[in-house]
């Protein structure tokens, strides 16, 4: 199963400022990574070690709980963040 995901980037941002973060996980075979806010997938990387989220200007609607999930045929692992 994939190792637990790690987050690279700041989750603190001021409205109107850019946001860039990535979530990474290691596994063999390579994982499918999804980044979701609630039930809505906002970024996905298939068979890649990292998924990236970039916003030119963050808004209050972008605030909330996100989930980074790594999965392959042997299992899954996830990380939740605000």
The predicted-structure confidence for 39-73, as pLDDT tens digits, reads as follows 999 999 999 999 999 999 999 999 999 999 999 99
Ordered by where they begin, the domains of the chain are: 6-81 (2.60.40.10)
- Residue 61 makes CB contacts below 8 A (sequence gap 6+) with none
Model confidence at 11: pLDDT above 80: no
The pTM of the full predicted model, rounded to 2 decimals, is: 0.90
């Amino acid at each position: 199963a994939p190792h637990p995901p790690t987050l690279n980037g700041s989750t603190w941002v001021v409205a109107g400022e850019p946001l860039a973060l990535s979530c990474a996980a290691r596994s063999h075979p390579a994982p499918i990574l999804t980044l979701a806010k609630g039930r809505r997938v906002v970024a996905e990387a298939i068979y890649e070690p990292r998924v990236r989220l970039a916003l030119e200007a963050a808004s209050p609607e972008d605030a909330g709980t996100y989930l980074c999930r790594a999965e392959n045929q042997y299992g899954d692992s996830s990380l939740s963040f605000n």
